A and B are shown apart, each in its own frame.
Chain A
Amino acid sequence: MLARRRPAGPGPTALLLVALLAAEARASWLIRRPLSPSGPELRQAARAALHFFNYRAASPSTVRVLKEVLNGTALIREEGENIKVAFSIESYRTENSQLGTCSALVGFKDHKSRPTVNISCTPLLDQKERKKEDYKLYKQIKQLETPPFETTIPGKLGDMDPSLQPLWELAMIGNSFLMWEKTTSTSSYYYVQQITNIKKWIRPDDFIILHYRLLLHEFRTQEIISCHLHLVWHPEKPSKTQYHCQDSGTQENGSGNSEGSGFL
């Protein structure tokens, strides 16, 4: 792993010294640091990884929720920290209560940039089943009448009309993109509370366009962040998300663009 170049020239001692120094220098580039599964770093990496997965998979019927962090290590490089993490997940749809595992390599660069993620997860449903479920949801949304502007999902009593559930699940794709971008190694972590002001269109090419307002709970500061999202989706075709957030305390605006693959 550590390549050793043999410098030409001076005697054996000098050679040894230089070799030792070179080895020392290489070692400081890459330090492995085991991390506690119950600790915050692994948990944060798992969250970032799962948000990324959910957005890229763009499959509303198989959105996954973090269950337990299993193990992981930090690989400290010059450019930042890479975290290798394995975690268990369960399906968002509780009726199915399927379980799975994921393993990911998450690259945190600095507190501003979104983390890079390489992830693979066990499938929740087989390909055919998942396609069927996503198309079912797609049809439901196409046929659904857009709810009134003031409708919130869930309602203030935590109630969710079963007919509105597909909208909630589809919004998870856009929400995941936003949360992935915001979850850095030093940042807070986020949970979706409510969506409202929903507008829905069908494009001529049969893509669904969902435009809505999201109330996001930022856990460390306990703030509620209001964002507007614009999601363009079709089962098994690349999806696209745009968002614009008003951070309540800081008055900061954030926005992002994505290309989801739908092919995970």
Chain B
Amino acid sequence: MKGLLILSAVLLAVFAKEDFSGHQVLRISAADKAQVEEVKKLEDLDHLQLDFWQGPASPSNPIDVRVPFHSVQSVKSFLEFNKINYKIMIDDVQLLLNNEQQQMLADQSKVRSTDIFRYDTYHTLTEIYDFMDLLVAENPNLVSKIQIGKSFEGRPLNVLKFSTGGNNRPAIWIDTGIHSREWVTQASGVWFAKKITEDYGHDETLTAILNSMDIFLEIVTNPDGFAYTHSTNRLWRKTRSIIPGSTCVGVDPNRNWDAAFGAAGASSNPCSETYHGKFPNSEVEVKSIVDFVKSHGNIKAFISIHSYSQLLLYPYGYTTTRAANQQELDELAKAAVTNLASLYGTKYKYGSIITTIYQASGSTIDWTYDSGIRYSYTFELRDTGRYGFLLPAKEIIPTAQETWLALMTIMDYALKHPY
């Protein structure tokens, strides 16, 4: 009681504080129940504006309290008068917050411009989606963002549209990250997006392409899988859809297309990495693209990007029957990988999926090709197995740069060979 009187006597004027400068966090060690009761009395004094992080409960538990600057002296005097032990845990809360803020800004590249975005590191889903919004904001006359659907777990499926006008122009589609663990592909997609904005109006070939055609780029084609590779399992490949009747999760989005669905070259076992799903387009990530392609109706080249193996592949995966324009596809592939190799000497092999890599049914470009998209290709980017999926970040930019040369070869060809 006496302590409380002293406390009232040394009360300072109460005024609202906007920040936490001078606030301290004290850790109080109450020796017995009586001391705990004393501290409880402090809780009742509203004018002190104490913020208990760990309230007074029992003598064995430390009591943590944030004390505003104006109450610091009073509280300390009270504690000392009552012979209650305490120590200062945080000297100045605002200083701590300032440091934390600075660190977060430094680490977490919540960048304000795509010019200072780090292209040589791997990013989270949020960072990539923020990048997309920035790019659109910086290039409103060239880039727009379309949401083609929502993933199984409700994430937006975002596509960047690069267009200089026109109405439903013939278009080129590029997707990266359909298999979430293939991180160099999403990272390259980010680089491609920036590259397009840099080169339009400066590079003759790209400018010619964009003056007649549109480019659609889906950077994170499997966002649920991608988030999972960050949070839980770096080597996750499939979607994250729940499979009724199974404890296993996810469908291989590159076996879920309506092209020889379920035939040899995919698995009917839900726990398998190449599980095709219960029916074609069961995966919303796949269906959204199918719906988009069908309703657009004017896509002339479709390129789906994977890693790793250093291959450029054309249809088919489900059959050894040659594609109708196989020779043309083969010659174009040869030209593309030659241009790719010109930069750093990176060697790519090329050919049909089934003869070059393995038999695969229900795969993306078999469907797009059979739907009439003549120039359908799949890339497998770096490397050939030294690091595989866990490609060191320093290889992102060289990979993106050389792959871009191959993409340009295909896009330029599509421009010059309308159909």
Interface residues of A (CB under 8 A from B): 38, 65, 92, 152, 154-160, 191-194, 215, 217, 219-224, 248-249
Q: Which residue of A lies closest to B184 (CB)?
A: A158
Secondary structure of the A contact surface, majority rule: loop
Which 5 pairs of residues, A with B, have the shortest CB-CB distance? A191-B385, A222-B273, A158-B392, A156-B234, A158-B390
B390 close to A222 (CB less than 8 A): no
Residues of B within 8 A of A217 (CB): 235, 388-389
A249 close to B393 (CB less than 8 A): no
27 contacts between A and B (CB under 8 A): A38-B349, A65-B385, A92-B386, A154-B387, A154-B390, A155-B390, A156-B234, A157-B393, A158-B122, A158-B392, A158-B393, A158-B395, A159-B393, A160-B392, A192-B388, A194-B390, A215-B235, A217-B388, A217-B389, A220-B358, A221-B274, A222-B273, A223-B272, A224-B273, A249-B267, A249-B269, A249-B272
Residues of B within 8 A of A220 (CB): 358
B67 → A minimal CB distance (Å): 37
Interface centre among B272, B386, B388, B392 (most CB of A within 10 A): B388
Q: Which residue of A lies closest to B272 (CB)?
A: A249
Interface residues of B (CB under 8 A from A): 121-122, 183, 229-230, 234-235, 237, 252, 267, 269, 271-274, 349, 358, 385-393, 395
* Known contacts A92-B386, A223-B272; A193/B235 CB under 8 A: yes
A180 → B minimal CB distance (Å): 15
Contact of B391 among A158, A215, A221, A223 (CB under 8 A): A158
Residues of A within 8 A of B386 (CB): 65, 92
B272 close to A221 (CB less than 8 A): yes
Interface centre among B271, B272, B389 (most CB of A within 10 A): B389
> In whole angstroms, how far apart are the Cα atoms of A65 and B267 in the complex?
31
* Known contacts A65-B386, A249-B269; A159/B392 CB under 8 A: yes
A193 close to B237 (CB less than 8 A): no
Q: Which residue of A lies closest to B359 (CB)?
A: A220
> In whole angstroms, how far apart are the Cα atoms of A154 and B122 in the complex?
14
Q: Which residue of B lies closest to A192 (CB)?
A: B388
A154 close to B392 (CB less than 8 A): yes
Q: Which residue of B lies closest to A92 (CB)?
A: B386
A156 close to B390 (CB less than 8 A): yes
Residues of A within 8 A of B237 (CB): 222
> In whole angstroms, how far apart are the Cα atoms of A127 and B379 in the complex?
41
> In whole angstroms, how far apart are the Cα atoms of A215 and B387 in the complex?
12
Interface centre among A157, A158, A219, A248 (most CB of B within 10 A): A158
Residues of B within 8 A of A160 (CB): 392
Residues of A within 8 A of B387 (CB): 154, 158
Residues of A within 8 A of B388 (CB): 191-193, 217
> In whole angstroms, how far apart are the Cα atoms of A18 and B416 in the complex?
68
B275 → A minimal CB distance (Å): 10
> In whole angstroms, how far apart are the Cα atoms of A65 and B388 in the complex?
13
A174 → B minimal CB distance (Å): 17
Residues of B within 8 A of A221 (CB): 267, 272-274
- Given contacts A92-B386, A222-B237, A222-B273, list 6 more A-B pairs with CB under 8 A: A155-B390, A156-B390, A158-B390, A158-B392, A191-B385, A222-B274
> In whole angstroms, how far apart are the Cα atoms of A219 and B307 in the complex?
12
Q: Which residue of A lies closest to B255 (CB)?
A: A222
> In whole angstroms, how far apart are the Cα atoms of A16 and B193 in the complex?
77
Residues of B within 8 A of A219 (CB): 358
Residues of A within 8 A of B229 (CB): 156
Residues of A within 8 A of B122 (CB): 157-158
Contact of A249 among B271, B385, B389, B395 (CB under 8 A): B271
A157 close to B274 (CB less than 8 A): no
> In whole angstroms, how far apart are the Cα atoms of A187 and B183 in the complex?
27
> In whole angstroms, how far apart are the Cα atoms of A154 and B358 in the complex?
28
B274 close to A248 (CB less than 8 A): no
> In whole angstroms, how far apart are the Cα atoms of A155 and B273 in the complex?
22
Q: Which residue of A lies closest to B230 (CB)?
A: A156
> In whole angstroms, how far apart are the Cα atoms of A140 and B410 in the complex?
49
Residues of B within 8 A of A248 (CB): 271
Interface centre among B269, B271, B272, B385 (most CB of A within 10 A): B385
Residues of B within 8 A of A223 (CB): 272-273
Residues of A within 8 A of B393 (CB): 157-159
> In whole angstroms, how far apart are the Cα atoms of A192 and B392 in the complex?
14
Interface centre among A65, A159, A222 (most CB of B within 10 A): A222
A143 → B minimal CB distance (Å): 25
Residues of A within 8 A of B391 (CB): 158
Residues of B within 8 A of A215 (CB): 235
Q: Which residue of A lies closest to B351 (CB)?
A: A38
> In whole angstroms, how far apart are the Cα atoms of A157 and B387 in the complex?
11
B274 close to A193 (CB less than 8 A): no
Q: Which residue of A lies closest to B237 (CB)?
A: A222
> In whole angstroms, how far apart are the Cα atoms of A191 and B230 in the complex?
21
Residues of B within 8 A of A38 (CB): 349
Residues of A within 8 A of B271 (CB): 248-249
> In whole angstroms, how far apart are the Cα atoms of A65 and B386 in the complex?
8
B235 close to A224 (CB less than 8 A): yes
Residues of A within 8 A of B252 (CB): 222
> In whole angstroms, how far apart are the Cα atoms of A220 and B385 in the complex?
13
A207 → B minimal CB distance (Å): 28
Residues of B within 8 A of A191 (CB): 385, 388
> In whole angstroms, how far apart are the Cα atoms of A160 and B390 in the complex?
10
Q: Which residue of B lies closest to A193 (CB)?
A: B388
Residues of B within 8 A of A159 (CB): 392-393
B272 → A minimal CB distance (Å): 5
B407 → A minimal CB distance (Å): 23
A193 close to B390 (CB less than 8 A): yes
Q: Which residue of B lies closest to A194 (CB)?
A: B390
Interface centre among B274, B386, B390 (most CB of A within 10 A): B390
B184 → A minimal CB distance (Å): 8
Q: Which residue of A lies closest to B122 (CB)?
A: A157
> In whole angstroms, how far apart are the Cα atoms of A159 and B392 in the complex?
6
> In whole angstroms, how far apart are the Cα atoms of A222 and B272 in the complex?
9
Residues of B within 8 A of A157 (CB): 121-122, 390, 393
> In whole angstroms, how far apart are the Cα atoms of A224 and B395 in the complex?
23
